[in-house]
Structures are given as structure tokens and as C-alpha cells.
Structure 1
Amino acid sequence: MNAKSFDGLLAEQFDPCEDEEHNVDSDEEIRPAIDIEFDGTIVDNNEAHKINIPSSSPLDHLQYPLNYIFVFLVLFQINHISEHIANTLISFISVLIGSFAGEEIRQCIPHSIAGMKKWIGLDYLTKDLQMYSACPTCHAIYPLPGPQNCTNPSRRMNGTLCDTPLLKSTASSNNRGNPYKKYAYYPLEDSLKRLFMRENFEEKIEQWKSRHMEPGLFNDIYDGMMWYDLFDPSTGLPFIETPHSLMLTLNIDWFTPFDSGYSCGAIYLVCNNLPHADHFKIENVILVGVMPGPKEPSTYKINSYSEPLVDSLLRLFNGITIPTYGAFCLKLSK
């Protein structure tokens, strides 16, 4: 992997409805592209139940009728409302469905938006998500649950500990408070596994090798000499000549998820091996992390948020073995 530059891509802005319990740092804002499939199984409170709709039910003329309702609710919540409001809406819809479809159907409906996401298979997007508490002062990050106070040496205080409180106080001394700021990181390895499970991904990242070239004309990054300047120390050959090696561009962009007074930062990667037209398609952009607001930190403070990504890149330097669409497993170099 090679992080080559900080390049811009305007993030899609959205204007969700808020309530007092809405948390802009929640993982609902991380939304990779997926294909949703259904098997007729409802999962609630980690228990799976099969729906058996009675033949006399008003819903029996629809195929998987609850699927459509649940998918709508989940997507509506992700784009427009908080989990708290969504759970209230689910309770209302559950009673409504039970009134004309029967108590047996109502009992199968998940009681929360989290259970509904698991029911339709959407939870797999966030099951590998890693959450960190972030220091409001120096932006050092700590895997949850983390310490009560920041233990990072402060640059402005001659190396003494920052000691900024990381957790909100609670009424009970037995309960740890929620972090003031959260940083969401999605492991790069898991994102790459999903890319390589696509039907044509392996072919697309090799298409640049057979492209038509005109002397003196540069159409993309792989037409320049820099594309070949990075060498594989184990072979002495250009890094990009190693099968399945990827060249990535690291980007950071700031966006306003709710209003102009609050900005969050997106850290994402773009695969330069893909055809130029596919670089910034949303399904190909690798969202690595979402930095909390409300303001943009200084450059040196941003470095803290890149630490998990750097750790992933170091693990990837020697290659990892992953399953792919065309093979049971594949050695992904660098």
C-alpha cells in the first residue's frame, strides 16, 4: 500500500433531523455500499426466529412483506433520524402491524433499530467497526473503554500529561460515562476483503497494464514514472509489478453532517489501480475513519487519528491472505 497524497473529494452532505440524544459521532454515519439479501429470519436480542405468516393474514399476498418495511425503516433512520426516534417509531409500527396481522406477527418484530439492522443483514457493515475515545484537547485516541483522563504527553506543557477528562460524569459512581468525543475506525484489512470479493475487482485492478499508451500523453497516475519508483525490497522489482499490489491515495475531507456549526472529518482511501472512471465511485472509496467535530484539529493533531490506519498498513506491508471472488484464498501483497 502506498499513501501518496492528501487529495480532495467533496463529501455528500445530508441534513438529518436531530433530537437531544442524537450523537453525530455514531457509526450510523459510516455507510459503505452493500447489496442486501433476505432469508426470512428475524433476529432480536441475539435470538433468531422464523416468521410464519398465517395464510389468512392480510400480508400473505406479499413476498417477505416485513422485509420492505424493515429496510425502509433502517434506511430512513440512517439518513434522517436518530436511533431514539427510530425505536419509538418501531414500537408504533409494531402495534399497528399487530392490530391487523395478529399478535404472532407482532411478537416477531425486533424492538429496536439495532435488532432490525441485524434482521436484514445490515449489521455486518459495522460489526468490525472499532470505536475510540478522543481527547477534546490534544485529540489522542484510546480504544474503548479507555482511561478516564488523557495520558498523552502535551506538546504545550513540556511533555507533562495532558490529563483532559475523556468521559462525561455520571450520577452513579459505578458507571463509566460516555466519551466526550468518539472516533470511528474501520479496519483497512476488512475493507479490502470486501473489495476482493467482488466479481470483477481483480480484473479491474490489472486493466491498467494493458491500456493503450500514446507517447508524451499522460492520462492518469500510472502513466507517470512515479508509478514505478517504489520498489519491492524482496524482489528488487517495481512494487506495482507484484500481483495484487495496490497503490492507494490517502484523502481527508471535512463535511457538515447537520448544520454549518459542526464539522466532521472523513479519512478515506482511493485505489489508483482501478480505471480512472472508477476511482471515486462511492462503492470503491474506502472509508477508513470519521473524526469527531465540532472543529477541524490542527495538522499534527490529525496524526493521532491516522495511527490505526498506519498500523494496518504495516501489517499489510508483508501481505495478507484473504478469500476472493475467484479463489478460496489469495495472498494480497502489500
Structure 2
Amino acid sequence: MSSFYNKVTKQWLTKTVCDGRPGLEVQQDCNTDDETLEQTEDTDIDAESNCTRSTANLGDEDRVFFDATDSSDCDDDNELHDIRLEEVWTSDDDSETDVHVPQGCQMVSQPVYYFLLLLLFWKAAFRVSASSTVFIVKCIKYFVKLLGSTYNCAKIVEASEQIPVTLMSVEKIIGLEKKCFIEYVVCPQCSVIYEFSDCVRTLANGKTESKTCRHVATPNHPHVRKRKACGALLLKQQRRHKKCILAPIKVYPYRSLKKSLCHILSKPDYIEKCEQWRSRMAVLANDILADIYDGQVWKQFTEVELNRFLDTPHSYLLTMNVDWFQPYKRSIYSTGAIYLTLQNLPREDTRM
């Protein structure tokens, strides 16, 4: 004799064999609901066998007690399972997670922000020029707008309106740090610097033109022709955005040393890193040269009695570097850099 559950009649049936002929007889109704049985069958086969055990050879009182115990256990398990699911869904919906939202996402939508971020990564990785990057941004902007208009999708059209058309706007949305350089106009002949406002002359008809260099190299020379001004043009006309503007022939970008030091030392732990070299020199031997701190020039500022500048805490030693190079292979264009490096920083940190 064996027992099994009929889902159609919702009854327990006992299969018996009488004189070699199989037969079915009703044993008892199931006290568990359909949901409990389906969960039991799906989760554990052993639990199903425990809930479907036969009680034919038990007494009436024992059978009632046994059935009540099994049904209560199954109901308690289902109730606990429901509570756990409810707790999980409640914690997922009601919990406030700290999600980092970039500042640029407040200006544009998140897909547009990450598109512009990938665009700048691509520009830096393949060394694409600024004009080429702006051209590609414009093409993508108009293509996305055309795509949204064709398929009548307002969200795509709205996203296309958020795409900027200038590289400066892209960098502003991404939040790139600006160097805050002041650009001076440089005379192409005598290398005298001017402010841009001192290089523009406004004519009577409202147009503007470039001034010439007023620098006199030898104002006290006995010959008159040697006391003439340089006279070189400082600005040239360029066409940008369908307009003719005046742009410097040569530019000298400059950033204040005070602002640069404030920017570097405002980074986390940079002030402490600039003082690590003091403990490092006590570890190495005198005959080992591992860094700039082991050289004679550095020791002149620490060991010479008349010039112990670095003995005072938070004293910084700067080195001036001058380098001229040609950035392009197929054109004659020279670029020079005059920069200072902070030597107090460890080698693993940048000293720029």
C-alpha cells in the first residue's frame, strides 16, 4: 500500500492491491493549502515526503494529533518564508543607498554625461585635436536629433539638445579641473609680453585692429635708427564660428606660484608627504645615492650652517626647468615650457 496526493480532487489516495488487482481508496483530506504544497514540492523533496507520510496504521486520536502537528509546522514554515520575502522587498525598496551622482549629471542627463566622458577619454587616448573632437560632437548631436525626430521619440530629441557643441562646454559638464592660466600676448620678434587689452585698437567705424610692439631695445643709443620701436604686429585675424577675430600670434600662459602651491598642498596628506624626507635620511647610509635628498645640492640647504633653509618645517625647495620641443612632425612649430617642480614630495608622488 502506498499513498500519494491528487491535485485535482485535493485528496490523499491510498493505492492498494486486492487479489492482484490494484484499487484506489480515499484516505484523508489534506490540511495544507495549494500554495504550501507547491512551495514544498519545489523546494525540498524530503519535506514533501514528510508531509505526505501515511497515517493509516495510527489511532484516531494519534492521527488527529499527528495531522495537526504536520499542518501547523508547514504553515509556520510558509509564514516564516513570507516574512523573509517581505523583509527583503521592504529593505530593497525603502533603503537609502549612497549613490555617487556626478556633478555633471545635474546639468545634463546621465547617458549624455557618460557619453561626453567617453568622448574625452577617446580624445586623450588617440590624441585627437580639439577641432576634430568638436566636429564629431556636432555630427553626433545632429544625428541623435534626427533619429529622435524620425521615430517620434521626445526623450531622444531632449537628449540631443543637451549635447554641447564646444569643447569648453564639454569640459565644464564633466567637471575637469582648469589650470587657471593667465594668457599674455608675446611679441613674435622681441618676446616682450602684453596684456590682450593693450594690443587691440578700435577704429572710428567700430572695427578693431592689432597694435604693434612698442618696445625699444636700446632707448639710449646714439643713433636714431637704433632707438626705434620694434613695430611687429601682436595679433592676427582668425576665422572662428563664421566670424573674424583677433588672436595672439604667440601666447605666454602663466599661473601664479602661490596659487600652484596652494593647489598642491591642499590635496589630502600632501603636507605630511613633504616632510617624509626628514625621517628617510636617517635610515640610509651616507654613501648611498637613492634620490635628490642624497645629493650635495640638497645637503647644502640642510647641513651648511649659514644656509639651513630646509631645517625649518614646511620649507619647500623648488627646481626650475626649461624645455623647448617641437610637438608636430610635419610642421615647424616650437613650444617651450618653463615650470617648477616641488622636490619635497616623495618619488612615488608627482613633483609637478
Using the size of structure 1 for normalisation, the TM-score is 0.57
Which residue among 313, 333, 342 is the counterpart of 1:262? 333
Partners of 2:267 and 2:139 in 1: how far apart?
A: 39
Partners of 2:120 and 2:347 in 1: how far apart?
A: 33
Q: Is residue 149 of structure 2 the alignment partner of residue 95 of structure 1? A: no
Q: Which has the higher helix share?
A: 2
Partners of 1:219 and 1:188 in 2: how far apart?
A: 28
Q: Which has the higher contact order (CA 8 A, sep 6+)?
A: 1
RMSD after superposition: 3.0
1:48-98 deviations in whole A, cap 9, x for unaligned? Answer: x453xxxxxxxxxxxx32222102323444563333332221121113333
Q: Give the aligned partner of residue 114 of structure 2.
A: 68
Partners of 2:216 and 2:194 in 1: how far apart?
A: 14
Q: Retained in 2: the 8 A contact 1:135–1:150? A: yes
Matched letter for residue 103 of structure 2: D
Partners of 1:181 and 1:116 in 2: how far apart?
A: 26
Provide closer, same or farther for how the CA distance between residues 143 and 241 of structure 1 changes in structure 2, counting only shifts above 3 A.
farther
Partners of 2:343 and 2:298 in 1: how far apart?
A: 10
Q: Give the aligned partner of residue 221 of structure 1.
A: 292
Q: Which has the higher strand share?
A: 2
Q: Retained in 1: the 8 A contact 2:112–2:159? A: no
1:304-325 deviations in whole A, cap 9, x for unaligned? Answer: xxxxxxxxxxxxxxxxxxxxxx
Which residue among 162, 180, 185 is the counterpart of 1:133? 185
Match runs of 1:142-291 below 5 Å: 142-147=194-199, 148-154=211-217, 158=226, 160-168=228-236, 177-211=246-280, 212-224=283-295, 226-227=297-298, 229=300, 238-259=308-329, 261-278=332-349, 281=350, 284-285=351-352
Provide closer, same or farther for how the CA distance between residues 217 and 102 of structure 1 changes in structure 2, counting only shifts above 3 A.
closer
User: How many corresponding residue pairs?
Assistant: 218
Worse-matched range after superposition: 145-154 or 107-116: 145-154
- What is the deviation of 1:210? 0.5
Partners of 2:196 and 2:310 in 1: how far apart?
A: 37
Q: Give the aligned partner of residue 39 of structure 1.
A: 103
Q: Is residue 171 of structure 2 the alignment partner of residue 117 of structure 1? A: yes
- What is the deviation of 1:136? 0.8
Q: Give the aligned partner of residue 107 of structure 1.
A: 161
Q: Retained in 2: the 8 A contact 1:251–1:269? A: yes
Partners of 1:91 and 1:262 in 2: how far apart?
A: 29
Q: Retained in 1: the 8 A contact 2:190–2:230? A: yes
SS at 1:74's partner residue?
A: helix
Sequence identity percentage: 31
- What is the deviation of 1:246? 1.0
Using the size of structure 2 for normalisation, the TM-score is 0.54
Q: Retained in 1: the 8 A contact 2:182–2:254? A: yes
- What is the deviation of 1:134? 0.9
Partners of 1:241 and 1:163 in 2: how far apart?
A: 51
Partners of 1:97 and 1:200 in 2: how far apart?
A: 45
Q: Give the aligned partner of residue 131 of structure 2.
A: 84
Provide closer, same or farther for how the CA distance between residues 154 and 274 of structure 1 changes in structure 2, counting only shifts above 3 A.
same
Q: Retained in 2: the 8 A contact 1:228–1:240? A: no
Provide closer, same or farther for how the CA distance between residues 209 and 159 of structure 1 changes in structure 2, counting only shifts above 3 A.
farther
- What is the deviation of 1:225? 5.2
Partners of 2:163 and 2:268 in 1: how far apart?
A: 34
Q: Give the aligned partner of residue 59 of structure 2.
A: none
The higher radius of gyration belongs to 2
- What is the deviation of 1:130? 0.7
- What is the deviation of 1:242? 2.6
Q: Retained in 2: the 8 A contact 1:133–1:146? A: no
- What is the deviation of 1:176? 6.4
Partners of 1:107 and 1:277 in 2: how far apart?
A: 44
1:273-304 deviations in whole A, cap 9, x for unaligned? Answer: 122454xx4xx31xxxxxxxxxxxxxxxxxxx
Q: Give the aligned partner of residue 314 of structure 1.
A: none
Gaps of 5+ in 1: 1-36, 43-48, 52-63, 286-334
